[in-house]
Amino acid sequence: MKNEVIPYLHQLTETGQTEFLRKLEAQLAKDLYPAEWGEMATEPNPQSLVSQLHHAVSQLIQTHGNSLGQVLYRIDIPEGKIRSLMAATPADERVPTLAGQILEREAKKVWLRMQFSQDS
């Protein structure tokens, strides 16, 4: 897995990447509640972050299925988009597909916050 898996990461310096990954992990842990994220990494890396996201999405689907719509609303992913993606995706690829959508949206949130906070 390469850095391209996480949007915007390649545009940052090494120090910026570490900060971005920490903020992204915190955002994911917050927004994916009630799924358990676990401990935050002291030195986050893209591979472990994506792996942990897949685990949390799987847990969310399996044990908190009724909350999935609320979680996606909180993350700001349109329900219609997810329904059409899930209908077109084989069952064994749904977790990675959903995780990819979540990662894309959450990375955008963190990226925008970092960009606008630097200008202040």
The pLDDT score that the predictor gives to residue 118 is 67
The answer to whether the beta carbons of residues 21 and 50 sit under 8 Å apart is no
Domain ranges of the chain: 44-115
pLDDT tens digits for range 21-74? 999 999 999 999 998 898 888 888 999 999 999 999 999 989 988 888 899 999
Residue 79 in tokens: 């329900």
The answer to whether the beta carbons of residues 86 and 97 sit under 8 Å apart is yes
Q: What is the DSSP letter of 33?
A: T
- C-alpha 60/C-alpha 48 separation (Å) is 18
The pLDDT score that the predictor gives to residue 1 is 38
Amino acid occupying residue 22: R
User: Is residue 2 scored above 50 in pLDDT?
Assistant: no
pLDDT band of residue 79 (cuts 50, 70, 90) is confident
CA angle 39–103–11, rounded 5-degree value: 100
